[in-house]
Amino acid sequence: MAGLTHALHMSQSSLEDNNPAARGTKRRQESRRRLLEVARRMFVERGYHATRPQDITKAAGLGHGTFYLHFKDKQDCFMAFIEQAQAEIDAAIIDRAASAKSLPEMVEAVLVSIYDYAENHPGVLMAAMNAETVVPADKLGGGTLLQRWGEKWGELLKTQAKQGLVAKDFDFVIIGQAIVGAIHQASSFSFERGRSRASLVKALTQFIVRALTPRK
Partner DNA sequence: GATGAATGAGCGTTCATTCAT
Partner DNA sequence: CATGAATGAACGCTCATTCAT
For DNA, the closer of residues 49 and 193 by Cβ is: 49
For DNA, the closer of residues 6 and 46 by Cβ is: 46
Partner that binds at residue 139, options a copy of itself, DNA, none, CB closer than 5 to 8 Å by kind = none
List 100, 130, 135, 159, residue binding a copy of itself (CB under 8 A): 130
CA pair distance 66, 140, nearest whole angstrom: 24
CA pair distance 116, 151, nearest whole angstrom: 22
Applying CB under 8 A, the span of 7-15, 28-36, 71-79, 207-215 interacting with a copy of itself comes to 207-215
Q: How many residues bind DNA (CB under 7 A)?
A: 26
Among positions 1-60, residues that touch DNA (CB under 7 A) are 24-25, 27-28, 30-31, 49-54, 57
179 CB burial (10 A radius; 0-12, 13-18, 19+): buried
186: left (phi over 0), alpha (psi -120 to 50) or beta: alpha
HSE-up (13 A, CA, CB side) for residue 132: 12
| Residue 207 CB, nearest approach to DNA (Å) | 42
User: Does position 44 bind a copy of itself by CB under 8 A?
Assistant: no
At 33, give phi and psi (nearest 5°): -60, -45
CA pair distance 85, 125, nearest whole angstrom: 8
Binding site for a copy of itself (CB under 8 A): 47, 49, 130, 133, 143, 146-147, 150, 167, 169-171, 173-175, 177-186, 189-190, 192, 195, 199-200, 202-204, 206-208, 210-212
